Amino acid sequence: MMLVEVKLHDIGEGMTEGEVLTYFVKKGDRVKSDQPLVEVQTDKMTAELPSPISGIVRDILIEEGTNVTVGTTLLIIDTEEIHSDSSHRPEKPLPKKRIIAAPHTRRIARELGVDIEQVVGSGPIGRVTDEDIYKFVSKAENPAPPLVEEIEEAPKQMKISPINPVEIPFKGRRKQIAAKMTKSLYTIPHVTHFEEVDVTNLLSLKNELKDDGTNISVAAFFIKAIYLALKDYPIFNSILDEEKEIIQLKQEYNIGVAVDTKEGLIVPVIHHVEQKSLKTIHQEMKEYIQKAQDNKLTREDITGGTFTISNVGPLGGIGATPIINYPESALVAFHKTKKRPAVINDEIVIRSIMNISMSFDHRVADGATAVAFTNRLVSLLENPSKMLLELK
């Protein structure tokens, strides 16, 4: 007998643990190599773990809903029993139907009590979509209108009972985010520096480009300005390795963009910003935000970040003390833009002012360096034509 342990392996950079959401197999099932076995949730994504080999599920060791660390054995597969037992079986079992569906779609099916194998997929190569699940439920229910004679008269007196509180499960991505935020806050000595930026010229330039047929979001300018400021102050594009006692100054500029989704906060990464134009940055960011909302980000989309921005301005708020995206060294949040009176050349004028807050790791940099960095960032945002001089 040859037993193979299927363990939780690192499916995302910096991952240390994950939650077992659901198993696609049960004890005694035959499985094929690469067949999905279990769905797990990390702080960054939901992913399926495939079978490393063909065989029979001998045992499932971890229950659904359990948080486990990387390296924990989830289940055991017997690779020899599939051969030794074949002579004793009167007929060959039919293989389990392979369903093509995103983890988010599978979750919707589970929550609605739908056997996803009964759903006909309308997507490419038969992929089951969210809409397919909802249509299946709608057809299955097909409720008939109630008969008039079945309607009972409401009781004259109603017994008042205490209202139970609504309970929201603290699990999945929400729990993983909590774990990562706690680790960041208790590992990194956070310091937050606040500044305000006059973005009047930036908004004017954005509108001019739009009139010429080039639509570039303000956030794309933010990312470009962050990269240029990091070139001058590379200490904030770094990762501290305390065990090796070194600060790694990253040579690539991979800027993460925090995106709020139904499943919680997630940070897709625009890689090698130093090689990309404003137009390319805008397009990639737009695609990543859509993928995040659709829960379709891949491992490559969310790993390798060296610096993170949070553009909360469209949601409102004049300031915050953001938590650094561990193990990075800094994060900048861009807040609401508001028209205010300002004094320019001894005259009061109306300008568009935005607040920013920068949290940084006080182990790798001091306040003076953080102020110098934000001053450079402010200069770029207030004089956006400087960014257009960059060919990339």
The catalytic site residues sit at 362
For residues 173 and 43, the answer to whether their CB atoms sit within 8 Å is yes
Q: Which residues contact 361 (CB under 8 A, 6 or more apart)?
A: 188, 189, 190, 240, 324, 329, 330
DSSP string computed for 360-392: EETTT--HHHHHHHHHHHHHHHHSTHHHHT---
For residues 170 and 331, the answer to whether their CB atoms sit within 8 Å is no
C-alpha pair distances (Å), 5 with each of 24, 42, 55, 80, 96: 17, 20, 12, 14, 21
C-alpha pair distances (Å), 197 with each of 336, 369, 371: 11, 18, 13
In 24-85, which ranges are E strands?
30-31, 36-41, 46-50, 55-60, 67-69, 73-78
**C-alpha 64, offset from chain centre:** 22
Positive or negative: CA dihedral 293, 209, 227, 198? negative
